[in-house]
Amino acid sequence: MFGFLKSLFSSAPVVDLQEVLAQKPFLVDVRTPAEFSQGHPKGAVNIPLDRLGSSLSKFKDKKEIVVFCRSGARSSQVKSLLSANGITNVTDAGSWDNVAKYTG
């Protein structure tokens, strides 16, 4: 239901997350290290929101980037911050559970 409401009120284009993940993007979990250690999608790297500024170089040469967190709030912030720094090939997947469904 939430996804339906989000698509109604969001100006962002709706993306097929399964299709994006099939392209083997750079998977970035922006939760804290403690949250990350409790479980994360296969292949994900942990770059917490509060360390994003010092980690921008890790994003520069990536063809496709998928960001996610616990609920989608932090990943939305990260997508905006990356865009403000000229990194626009970013998909906000919302929660890490969304990504884990397709990555194993």
Strands (E), 1-104: 26-29, 45-46, 65-69, 90-95
Assigned token pair, 85: 């720094």
Residue 69 designated active-site:
yes
Report the distance separating Cα 71 and Cα 85, nearest Å: 23
Instruction: List the catalytic residue out of 30, 47, 69, 99.
Output: 69
- Which residues belong to the active site? 69
